[in-house]
Chains A and B, each alone.
Chain A
């Protein structure tokens, strides 16, 4: 029964979703809404599970003194501080008249979000610029025909996406400048490639979904 029940649930929900797409009326429309609400409930629990799992892993790392275990303290302390402040502000907001949100400007949570979380996470993303530059320096090399085409496309798009491209090609007539080359690459060769990938991915998803709904593919039940 451990395997049969999930397969039956998958089969029923999958078929209802397929039917409700084509027949958005009773009873399929209502069933779809019902399942969507259940999905939101499950997803909300998943967020909590994820957070608690992170805590569990961090505590295990600390107790076993694994590699760089001190950094796990940073995770635990930050998590506890932000949760405590969020709950405190949320609770205080409920007693205000009219009620306020813990996200409102001026709250402690907003201060942590704006002055600690935002700069830290932005810094992580900003580091990407350096890796992209280093990767371009090493990877964009005309080793063969395909690599040369990639190099040319990347070069033209990068040039055309900033005003520098149009400044350098300002002597050319309107419609033939660097930004126009970049637009042409994005609208034609790039779109064609993207469409091919998207159609391939969609066909893959359809076939995998059908295999899961029909119970042929069962790897998701393991573990």
Chain B
């Protein structure tokens, strides 16, 4: 194995040491000035044009070059000082409107149904929502149908509490928010919650019995919560919340999904079964914009833009290669 991957491991370690040394020497975030940023963009564009010219000449680039371009396009924007603003789509506006319409004191069930791999897309949405909800004095009941969900919720709570406006409210666990933890059983958990929350979550993550939590007094089932927000990256997730909580128990559900999962939710969105939907990094950036809680998604949007541009350029180059190949064959 060492023979096979030895060179790659050594190269990786050298890069890692170089990066660590750079960041140790420069503890402040590295950032290019806008001029340097535009020069870098220009160089990247020139490199893509060079690939196009090579393709026209009949020299096709290997897969490794595609990887290199995507890698550069994803990493460089993090060092650029260009800020991008996007238009809030009707889907995200629907989610925002659903939350924004809730009066202070409303009880919102927040289901964290994802794990760290999907966190780059979903955590910014959850962070923005958590800060926004706390500022609007919404009462949050947190659960997870994925084992890692409650831990991801804790991250969002910690980040929201670090904001001065939220910290000043002196919010208390058990009165303003509660984390009921993970429960196994997938959609059957949602189904049982339709009858009794207590049966599925008899204790919170601190082992406090359900009946001793002030926020949960009078909360028996879905009829006692005003809105459900679901951050989801697969099964069980938004589809199950719609099919059971919305269709059977008439609950209002808004969701945030990964870019891969979001397209599957459009039929539910267009049928009015979902109040709103934030999809992927773009959806997260739009939600941050709608809630005025700017965070990591807005920063990552530039990275997303670059990677999309590179993929689009390679699709064009791929088609040029296809047509040139056809032409050669007909000759």
Contacts and interface: CB of A to CB of B under 8 A. Distances in A.
Dominant SS among interface residues on chain A: helix
A221 interface: no
Interface in B209-253: 248
Given A47-B184, A194-B267, A155 B199 contact: no
A145 interface: no
Contacts of B301: 162-163
A164 B318 contact: no
Contact of A140 (B154, B263, B264, B318): B318
Interface string B313-328: 0110111001000000
Contacts, number: 163
Given A40-B183, A40-B188, A44-B184, A162 B282 contact: yes
A198 B282 contact: no
Contacts of B188: 36, 39-40, 43
A140 B312 CA distance: 10
B307 A166 contact: no
13 contacts: A29-B195, A43-B186, A101-B205, A105-B158, A114-B155, A121-B115, A125-B118, A141-B318, A141-B322, A162-B301, A162-B304, A163-B85, A194-B263
Given A130-B71, A163-B305, A179-B87, A155 B1 contact: no
Contacts of B200: 40
8 closest Cβ contacts across the A-B interface? Answer: A125-B117, A40-B185, A118-B116, A43-B184, A36-B192, A137-B314, A162-B305, A101-B205
B116 A164 contact: no
Nearest to B270: A191
Nearest to B265: A194
Contact of A136 (B85, B205, B315): B315
A164 B315 contact: no
B311 A136 contact: yes
A110 B318 contact: no
Given A47-B184, A162-B301, A179 B89 contact: yes
Interface in B101-140: 115-120
B250 to A, nearest CB: 13
Interface stretch (B17-25, B26-34, B62-70, B163-171): B62-70
B267 A133 contact: no
A32 B191 contact: yes
Interface residues of A, number: 64
Interface string A114-148: 10011001101110011011101110111100000
A85 interface: no
A36 B185 contact: yes
Interface of A: 21, 29, 32-33, 36-37, 39-40, 43-44, 46-47, 68, 70, 93-94, 98-101, 103-105, 110, 113-114, 117-118, 121-122, 124-126, 129-130, 132-134, 136-138, 140-143, 151, 154-155, 158-159, 161-164, 166, 179, 183, 186-187, 190-191, 194-195, 198
B315 A103 contact: no
Contacts of B318: 136-138, 140-141
B117 A124 contact: yes
Contact of A186 (B117, B158, B263, B314): B263
A104 B151 CA distance: 8
Majority SS at the chain B contact face = helix
Contacts of B314: 133, 136-137
B189 interface: yes
B74 interface: yes
Nearest to A126: B120
Contact of B207 (A33, A94, A129, A158): A94
B118 to A, nearest CB: 7
B58 to A, nearest CB: 17
A191 B184 contact: no
Nearest to A148: B319
B239 to A, nearest CB: 9
B90 to A, nearest CB: 7
Nearest to B233: A125
A61 to B, nearest CB: 14
A159 B267 contact: no
B256 interface: no
Given A122-B116, A142-B319, A191 B192 contact: no
B67 A158 contact: no
B184 A40 contact: yes
B151 A159 contact: no
Contacts of B1: 68, 70
B150 interface: yes
A113 to B, nearest CB: 6
A133 B311 contact: yes
A191 B67 CA distance: 32
Given A133-B66, A155-B315, A191 B207 contact: no
Contacts of B84: 163
